[in-house]
Structure 1
Amino acid sequence: MKSMFARAAVLTFAAAVATPAAAQEVFAGLYAHEVETPFTFDVNEGGADIELGYRFAPSEGLSFLGRPQPYVLASLNTEGDTSFAGGGLSWKLGKGKVYARPGIGIVIHDGPSERFDPETRERYDLGSRVLFSPEIAIGYQVSDRVALEASWVHISHAQLFNSEQNPGIDMIGARINLSL
């Protein structure tokens, strides 16, 4: 399953480079995996996440939502813990060099389908193979083609698949965006 996510990351990057006319930008980032926040609890994972993605041009067909940019991404964990791939929509808000980028997506992950605390027997896996992935980034436009972003990414099932269990994982990191 891990190699599937590595291949998804490579294919995402290759698609972005091979078809620049169809894309708005490619991005790559490095994230701390399983950062403690009020939105999650410990799932005993570690390492860093390497994220590669591809954002399409803002969608005219979704102008009623503010012309979001559809995206695809793959995130590979460096220690073999939970990796994921998926897609969604993001919005670039702001006209100057500094901007905000909220987003919402859906990902499929390769974490364990069941994981229990050996002492309490409390379940702490992610509860579902398919997860929601909200995010928020603050960006700085370095040049016409390059932007840097600090971002928070969360993955969880929002208690939709199990109302008593939803640990989630938060990642915090930085990425570079290259406009094509």
Structure 2
Amino acid sequence: MRMVFLFAGMAMMASGPAQAAEVYGGVLAHDIDSPLTHGGREGGADFQLGWRGERIGALSFIGAPSPYLFGSLHSGGDTHYAAAGVSWRIGGRLFLRPGIGIAVHMRSDDGVEDGRRTDLGSRVLFEPELSLGYQISVRMAVEASWVHLSHAQLLSRQNPGMDSVGIRLNYRLR
């Protein structure tokens, strides 16, 4: 499965600079305890690196979202994942960016039984996210971001979900 995401990412990056709108990186608090999850087991930080494409004109009937792809590495080595989806930038200098995607996590189930890790119930998960951002300059923006991983109990009854919150820095390529 890792190879699928590696090749998908390479294909998207190789599609040329005309398709690449921005790249971003961020640091998020991993697996926080929130009203949406039973988190807080893993802790640590997520280091994210991602890409967003130009708006998809063919999807103007749903607001012409932008595609995205990112990878997230966990500082504790527990739940690494890759995600792909679409997001909408709403606003001007101060903006809101809701998004929805699919994620695949890349960890074993070791540690689930003794409560050290969160059992997400499925390798494939929904990945809704929400960011509040500020455009610092023509090319730079900063976002406060929330990312949720869950399968909404569609794939099994086990579904505690996982939330991460933090900061992302975006760099527009052109």
Q: Cα gap change, 1:162/1:86 in structure 2, threshold over 3 Å: closer, same or farther?
A: same
1: CA distance between counterparts of 2:36 and 2:54? 31
**1:31 counterpart (28, 34, 43):** 28
Please tell me whether the aligned partners of residues 32 and 43 of structure 2 are also in contact (alpha carbons under 8 angstroms): no
Offset at residue 107 of structure 1 (A)? 0.6
Please tell me whether the aligned partners of residues 12 and 74 of structure 1 are also in contact (alpha carbons under 8 angstroms): no
Mapped pair 1:62 → 2:59: yes
In the alignment, residue 150 of structure 2 is paired with which amino acid? S
In structure 2, the gaps of 5 or more residues are none
2: CA distance between counterparts of 1:66 and 1:18? 23
1:141 matched residue in structure 2: 135
C-alpha deviations, 1:103-158, integer Å up to 9, x for none? Answer: 0000100233472357xxxx951000000000100000001111000010000111
Offset at residue 33 of structure 1 (A)? 0.3
Offset at residue 97 of structure 1 (A)? 1.1
2: CA distance between counterparts of 1:20 and 1:108? 26
Offset at residue 79 of structure 1 (A)? 1.0
1: CA distance between counterparts of 2:75 and 2:85? 23
Q: How many residue pairs get matched?
A: 169
List aligned pairs for 1:33-112, cutoff 5 A: 33-42=30-39, 44-94=41-91, 96-112=92-108
1:130 matched residue in structure 2: 124
Q: Cα gap change, 1:109/1:92 in structure 2, threshold over 3 Å: closer, same or farther?
A: same
Please tell me whether the aligned partners of residues 16 and 26 of structure 1 are also in contact (alpha carbons under 8 angstroms): no
1:170 matched residue in structure 2: 163
SS of equivalent to 1:34: strand
In the alignment, residue 166 of structure 2 is paired with which amino acid? G
Q: Cα gap change, 1:17/1:177 in structure 2, threshold over 3 Å: closer, same or farther?
A: farther
* % same residue: 49
Please tell me whether the aligned partners of residues 59 and 70 of structure 1 are also in contact (alpha carbons under 8 angstroms): yes
Q: What is the Cα-based RMSD across aligned positions, in Å?
A: 2.6
**1:159 counterpart (138, 153, 162):** 153
SS of equivalent to 1:136: strand
In structure 1, the gaps of 5 or more residues are none
Offset at residue 166 of structure 1 (A)? 0.7
